[in-house]
Amino acid sequence: MNLEPIKTAARQAAALCSTVQKRHFVTSQKADNDGPVTIADYGAQALIANAIKLHFPGDAVLAEESGEQFVGLVPP
C-alpha cells in the first residue's frame, strides 16, 4: 500500500493550518456548540479526504467536520 499521496496531503494540511494560524485566524462556532472551527479545519480535512478518495476509492472517510452528528458503521 503506497501511503505517500496521503502523507503529502497531510503535509499540505499542516502547511495550510500553519498559514491560517499566522495570517487569517478566523473562527466560527460549530452547530452543536462543541467548540470553534476554522477554515484550516475544513481545508485540512478536504485535502486529506480528497487524497484518500482519489488514491483509495473503495475506502470510506469519516471526518470530524463533516457535519453529521451520528454515523452508523455496519460491518460487512
Helix, strand, coil in percent for the chain, rounding step 5: 55, 10, 40
- Of the candidates 17, 2, 23, the one whose C-alpha atom is nearest the C-alpha of residue 65 is 17
The band of 66, judged by pLDDT with boundaries at 50, 70 and 90, is confident
Which grid cell sits at 69? 452528528
Mean pLDDT computed over 52-64: 92
- Give per-residue pLDDT as tens, 7-33: 999 999 999 999 988 886 666 656 665
Residue 58: how many CA atoms within 13 Å on its side-chain side? 0
